[in-house]
Amino acid sequence: MNGDKDFLGKEPVGKLLLKLALPTVAAQIINMLYNIVDRIYIGHIPDIGTLALTGVGVCMPLIMIVTAFSAFTGYGGAPRASIFMGKGDQESAERTLGNGFVLQIIISVVLTAVLLLWNRDFLLAFGASPNTIEYGVSYMNIYAIGTIFVQMTLGMNAFITAQGFARTGMLSVLIGAVANIILDPIFIYGLNMGVRGAALATILSQALSCAWVLIFLFGKKTYLKIHRRHLALKAKTVLPMLALGLSVFIMQASESVISICFNSSLLRYGGDIAVGAMTILTSVMQFAMLPLQGLGQGAQPIISYNYGAKNTGRVKLAFKLLLVSSLCYSVLLWLAIMLFPQAFAALFTGDAVLLEFTRSALRVYTACLLLFGIQMACQMTFTSLGNAKASILVAVMRKFILLIPLIYIMPVIFPGDQATAVYMAEPVADFFAVSFKRGEIRKQVKTLISSRFKDSGQTGYK
């Protein structure tokens, strides 16, 4: 392996993490703007802004599912490609990339058909009311057409970052985000297209990002290239990729399930205003989720490459730095939200009633956000090490074992203000997840990193 590729195994870990994490965090912050800018513009449409925001908010479970499927192959294949690079196995790394590319196309076609045929039925089941359903359908009918652009951009960009091209990965997101910010007001206000304009701006912007990603992966600068001989799907390549990606898929797809549970409960206990507030709360949570994912993505090539190369000390150090930086960020964001909740809510609405309702709900919903950095750092590390079982366990425990039951239990325990009780499910789940699992998570990470290097023939994959 030449010196250019081996920088992941030689440069100081702290310096390397900083160099890789800054562009990936920047990319995720840009991606956050990408995701929320539609809602900011929609929420300020004169006269209909509040209902339109709620209608588009009900679309979020479907959008999360699309994003989750891109992670299924992207974040399942990219760490494996990095590990193969660390082992010096270029052929297997490029086969993983080629199979991932084909899988993204197949999944995109299926998702597009499903969304076009049944989006109204899904939205009604997810908490849309007669007042908001048409806004949601108008958005999804256009968004569904651009599903392939979303899939290819998010999924294949992971393979760019996994090679250490963090800046290129950031530019992939930046191109689409800038285009979206420019096109949104033109289509929404200038052409008077409303929510349809927001959806059209999104898919056109994603198309630009998609073109950039594919040009790079078919070009000369990338270490791993998409070759025709690697496009035929092979079970020995696809199945381990999907097994590893399953944890990230569950993590992201479960957000969709949780959003459905929240919306249906809030519609029952608080009506459209409570569902509208939830749209804002989930948008604010992206201030936590996406930058933390960026930190994890910056650490992923370092952890995966050195795991493949059996550099135990560098893997341990990278994990420790990721954990500390993630925790610091989540604590600082938590303080900002606790001190200035109205400032965050005001980004999305000027409606006085919704603003006041959201201000108090936001403090409740994010009460344990300061612990979120621990969960994300461990989740991303398990994925980077190729440990599908541990990664899935961490993803499932908080979401399905704790949070979903609590969404329905909390209103029974606190019948006085049932809408607020629904919001309380989030911090209660976070508290118990970290309190009861932190010792086991530390033990698993230490055992996983240390024990797998004892046997000379053990690399983490069979």
pLDDT tens string 157-198 = 889 988 878 788 888 888 988 898 899 899 999 898 888 998
User: What sign has the CA pseudo-torsion 97, 237, 248, 21?
Assistant: negative
What does the alpha-carbon distance between residue 210 and residue 214 come to, in Å, rounded to a whole number? 6
Lowest mean pLDDT among 37-51, 151-165, 169-183, 333-347: 37-51
What does the alpha-carbon distance between residue 55 and residue 346 come to, in Å, rounded to a whole number? 18
pLDDT at position 393 over 80: no
More confident: 344 or 252: 344
What distance, in Å, lies between the first and last C-alpha atoms of the chain? 22
SS3 for 60-103 is HHHHHHHHHHHHHHHHHHHHHHHHHHHCCCHHHHHHHHHHHHHH
> What number is the average pLDDT over the span 437-453?
56
More confident: 37 or 218: 218
pLDDT tens string 211-224 = 999 999 988 888 88
pLDDT at position 201 over 70: yes
pLDDT at position 451 over 60: no
Q: In the chain, what are the domain boundaries? A: 7-451
Give me the chain's average pLDDT, please. 83
pLDDT at position 104 over 50: yes
What pLDDT does 446 receive? 59
pLDDT at position 272 over 50: yes
Q: Which two tokens stand for residue 292?
A: 């933390």
pLDDT band at 107 (very low <50, low <70, confident <90, very high): very high
Of the candidates 134, 114, 113, 112, the residue with the CA atom closest to the CA atom of residue 123:
134
> What number is the average pLDDT over the span 255-263?
82
Lowest mean pLDDT among 158-162, 284-288, 318-322: 284-288
More confident: 126 or 408: 408
pLDDT band at 288 (very low <50, low <70, confident <90, very high): confident
Helix then strand then coil, in percent of the chain rounded to 5, is 85, 0, 15
pLDDT tens string 401-433 = 888 999 999 999 998 889 999 999 999 988 887
User: What sign has the CA pseudo-torsion 312, 314, 318, 324?
Assistant: positive
pLDDT at position 333 over 50: yes
Dihedrals φ, ψ of 183, to 5°?
-75, -30
